[in-house]
Structure 1
Amino acid sequence: MPETITEPGLLDLSRYIRSGDTVVWGQACGEPQTLTETLLAQRASIGPFRCFLGIPAARTVRPEHGDHVRFVSYCGSGGNKKLYADGVLDVVPSHYSTLPHLLAGGSLRADVVLIQVAPAGADGRHSLGLADDYVSAAIPGARVVIAEVNDQVPRTPGDWMPRTADFDVVVHTSRAPAEMPPRAITAQTQRIAEHVAGLIDDGATLQFGIGALPEAVLSQLTDRTDLGVHSGLLNDTAAELMAAGVITNARKSVDRGRSVAGLLMGTRRLFRFADGNPAIQLRGTRYTHDPSVLAAQDRLVAVNSAVEVDLTGQVNAEVAGGQYVGAVGGAVDFLRGASRSHGGKPIVALPAMSGGTSKIVARLSGPVSTARCDAGFIVTEYGVADLRGQPLKVRRERMLAVAHPEQRPVLEAAIDNAGVPV
């Protein structure tokens, strides 16, 4: 049986974590905050070690922690942007589908995993509660697994329901999980969402990312019937659509009757709705981003965002203004899955203009996160550009039509001057 600690203040992580180790924990609302706070407070006594970060919900990690810790992540989202700008975070550009391999035995192999779970049920099994995602893949190869058993974590059905004996150390806590409230929706975001919603039919299965735009798209779907969810995350608005009977998953070709996601990313409203709800299932990244699973899901609509898109459909989702702010992430996994899905629709949505800068560009200012061969629908507040199977000339025409009107002459001039990729 594992060592059990009932007083978190007595936890000495230097007993379990060695200098040079790689430590991995659940991201976003799934962060075991008592464990991560203790880890960073005790970092000097442990010695130099590495932490793999996901998207932060709590502001646990700060730049000053870089004195003894080397941070690495797949993304520059949220608080990671500050860490990257201050030079204490490095980024591994990676498709989300490859993270389990990297964490299980690749270059990011986890030595120690910190995990947050709900108390064991009558069957003796714990629920991962808020995040399965990539963290469960890191556990089998880890030397030490430390579990924060938090009685405020919802009990959600999952792919992996561990027993207490599966952990090396158990720390009992009672604290509210980190939350990620919905972001404010602007008029511009609302117009983009309306165009995206026009592409979503009854019976479609949805994948959506993080931020105000996915929330806005979901809020436009209250008149649809029998929608489904197969996504990296489940948010508050999706839960509201489930409660309203809009998302039923009744017409899914895979996992019928259940919303499948890697993690819950929202507020207490979502957590309460998911607690004990058999219509929600958390699965690991190996499943949620599996290309064969995605291709088998009929009418899969993948909705992803971008920093900028060029006139041929190349997408930069990582870098803005020279700063790492996004990720390669799961966009390519889901866009390709939607392309292979019967009746599927791969969508990239973004504002045509933001902060006085055109987001439809002649040449990307950052890396190519999604190749133009994977481009499907590009959506802005000015409409929809369907690039599927289209030659370069047609792509440029359609992209010009969804660019900001003030920017179209500039972009046309770039075409005339051969200033666009061929």
Structure 2
Amino acid sequence: MPAPGRQIALADLDLAQFIRAGDSIVWGQSAAEPLSLMQAYVAQRHRFARTCVFLGIGGSATLQPEHADAIDMTGYAAGGSHRTLGMAGVLDPVPCHYSQIPLLIASRSIAVDVVFVQVSPPNDAGECSLGLAHDYMAAAMRSARCVIAEVNVDVPWVHGATLRLDKVDAWVQSDQPVVDVPAGKSGDAETAIARHIASRIEDGATLQLGIGNLPDAVLQALHGHRNLGLHSGTIGDRVADLAEAGVITNTHKGIDAGVSVTGLLMGTARTRRWAHRNPALRIASTDYTHSARVLGQINKLVAINAAIEVDLTGQINAEVVAGQYLGAVGGAMDFLRAAAISPGGLPIVALPATARGQSRIVARLSGPVSTPRADAGLIVTEHGVADLRGLSLSGRMQAMLAIAAPEHRDTLSASARQYFA
């Protein structure tokens, strides 16, 4: 094995010097994918016999189903480009709360032998920033036998997590553009849902945002608000817009005054420019961003998450579509529970009422219960808001029918009578 801290040219990178047969490998997710290291690993995969990767949200199309000929693929999510792996049946999901991943890694319930981490160029003190993802990467590096860094000038230097190149086993220089994750586009349904949600959010509230078009639409609808805070697992371009517009100030959140906190940056060059050396932004590990102890200190926490389907009693499926694993348990329950007990908080799950002509408000879920009905709060579609807090089963059914698509309400009502007869 080369001496620690040695730079290796990509053309000379021989991963067999670092990876052993049977090793489990972790790399950053979404925009934090170290593309050059991933590409080398895929190209050289037959040199290690079988190895395993633990995946998060996919950013690039580097990993494909045919690579299962030498790679076992597990992960907490089948999101982003990894939906292809889920649909092909080669991704074996680990159904865990996002907040538990660092603990599962530390206990080796999720094994980590080798880490590929993408970092910024070093600052004057010789410290690189993890830049686009802290989340569970620090926990993975602490547990790994070997850490290989990919230094990319496109990665911003973001406060919260640093790494010195003389402390890693090897590093490479890459000039590949970082994966862009553009803000979602809003249709009529998303715009209507965003208006419903924005009307419920008070000035001074602190936001947590899930992934997808709906959270982005909500952020666009908040430009008239004031003194909002941000404590979220992920952020992107719409957060940068609100921060630079003076809407997000973090002055009333209760902790981390004046600072937006996130674990993962999922945006474009617009987000990266805003994030670079920004003292009003900090990346943090999952055991801080999703910690019940931390979340309990936040004022007016508004958790906004999406779902695949919700039944008439408030049970939420965020994992499976038509028998295929395409989502994740994720961090929704951590934030929904925290928002439910936060003074002035709002636990919100939002979804369009239909998809491809089928109702997403259902009498019976077609997949697992990702969030139980006891943790459901406000369910929002383009047809309105169903506030399920404190409602009986019959009250919930009536509230949910009122936000279902009108053309599906009679069928849903009849199915509900049979289901609960």
TM-score band (shorter)?
over 0.9
2:406 equivalent to 1:408: no
Q: Following the alignment from structure 1 to structure 2, what is the Cα–Cα distance between the partners of residues 87 and 326?
A: 13
**One-letter identity of the residue aligned with 1:198:** S
Counting only pairs closer than 5 Å after superposition, residues 385-400 of structure 1 correspond to structure 2 as 385-400=386-401
> Which of 191-200 and 22-31 deviates more?
191-200
Partner residue of 1:84 out of 78, 83, 86: 86
Aligned mates of 1:252, 1:167 — CA distance in 2: 36
Q: Of residues 119, 136, 146 in structure 1, which corresponds to 2:121?
A: 119
Corresponding position of 2:304: 303
Whether the aligned pair in 2 keeps the contact of 1:295 and 1:342 (CA below 8 Å) is: no
What is the root-mean-square deviation in Å for CA atoms of aligned residues? 1.2
Q: What's the TM-score, normalizing by structure 1?
A: 0.97
Instruction: Name 1:9's counterpart in structure 2.
Output: 11
The superposition leaves residues 361-411 of structure 1 with CA deviations (integer Å, 9 ceiling, x where unpaired) of 111011000000000000000100111122111111111111111111111
Moved more, 5-14 or 209-218: 5-14
Q: CA deviation at 1:325?
A: 1.1
C-alpha displacement of 1:173 = 2.0
Equivalent in the alignment of 2:46:
44
Counterparts of 1:165-176 in structure 2 under 5 Å? 165-176=166-177
| Local SS of the residue matching 1:296 | coil
Question: Which of 15, 23, 26 is 2:25 aligned to?
Answer: 23
Superposition deviation, residue 5 in structure 1: 2.5
The Cα of 1:83 is off from its aligned counterpart by: 1.0
Output aligned runs, 1:72-151, within 5 Å. 72-151=74-153
Alignment of 1:16-415 (within 5 A): 16-158=18-160, 160-415=161-416
**Equivalent position SS for 2:102:** helix
Structure 1: distance between partners of 2:262 and 2:36: 25
> After TM superposition, where is structure 1 displaced by more than 6 Å over at least 4 residues in a row?
none
* TM superposition shift of 1:323: 1.2
Query: By how many angstroms is 1:9 displaced?
Result: 1.1
Cα gap change, 1:3/1:162 in structure 2, threshold over 3 Å: closer, same or farther?
closer
Q: 3-state DSSP class of the match of 1:152?
A: coil
SS of the residue corresponding to residue 260 of structure 1 reads: strand
Contact 1:104–1:139 at 8 Å: present in 2 too?
no
SS of structure 1 residue aligned to 2:400: helix
Asked if the contact 1:22–1:111 (Cα under 8 Å) also holds between the matched residues in 2, the reply is: yes
Offset, 1:87: 2.4
SS at match of 1:139: helix
Partners in 1 of 2:286 and 2:240 — Cα distance? Answer: 21
Q: Residue type matched to 2:245 in 1?
A: A
Q: 2:182 & 2:242 partners in 1: Cα distance?
A: 17
Deviations 1:318-347 (A, max 9, x none): 111111111110000110111121211100
What letter corresponds to residue 14 of structure 1 in structure 2?
A
Pick which of 40-49 and 97-106 moved more: 97-106
For residues 79-117 of structure 1, the C-alpha deviation after alignment (integer angstroms, 9 at most, x for no partner) is 222112222211111110111112233321210011011
TM-score, with normalisation over the residues of structure 2? 0.97
SS for the counterpart of 1:397 is helix
Structure 2: distance between partners of 1:105 and 1:394: 43
Q: State how far apart, in whole Å, the 2-side matches of 1:345 and 1:295 are.
A: 13
Is the partner of 1:90 in helix, strand or coil? Answer: strand
Pairwise CA distance, 1:6: 4.5
Q: Is contact 2:20–2:48 with CA below 8 Å preserved after alignment?
A: yes
Contact 1:5–1:11 (CA<8 Å) still a contact in 2?
Answer: no
CA contact (8 A) 1:120 1:126 kept: yes
SS in 2 for 1:328: coil
After superposition, the C-alpha distances for 1:10-63 in whole angstroms (9 at most, x for unaligned) are 110110010000000010001111111111110001210000111111111011
User: What letter is aligned with 1:350?
Assistant: L
Distance 2:278 2:229 in 1: 15
Q: Give distance in 2, aligned partners of 1:36 and 1:175.
A: 12
Secondary structure of the 1:370 match is coil
The SS at the match of 2:150 is strand
Q: Is the 8 A contact 2:52 2:73 kept in 1?
A: yes
After the TM superposition, which of the residue ranges 219-228 and 407-416 deviates more from structure 2? 407-416
Q: State the AA in 1 paired with 2:294.
A: V
Whole-angstrom CA distance in 2 between matches of 1:394 and 1:77: 34
8 A Cα contact 2:209 2:305, kept in partner: yes
* 1:248-281 deviation digits (Å, cap 9, x = unpaired): 1111101110110001101011101111111110
**Contact 1:234 1:264 (8 Å CA) reproduced:** yes
Matched letter for residue 334 of structure 2? D
Q: Secondary structure of 1:190's match?
A: helix
Separation in 2 of the partners of 1:104 and 1:163? 22
| Paired residues of 1:6 and 1:173 also in contact (CA < 8 A) | no
Q: For the Cα contact (< 8 Å) 2:223–2:247, is it kept in 1?
A: yes
The whole-number CA distance in structure 1 between the counterparts of 2:154 and 2:218 is 30
Q: Deviations over 1:160-211 (max 9, x none)?
A: 3222233111112222211111222111111111111111110010000111
- Confirm or deny: 8 A CA contact 2:209 2:303 kept in the other structure: yes
Distance 1:258 1:226 in 2: 12
Q: Distance in 2 between matches of 1:110 and 1:405?
A: 49
Amino-acid identity (%): 50
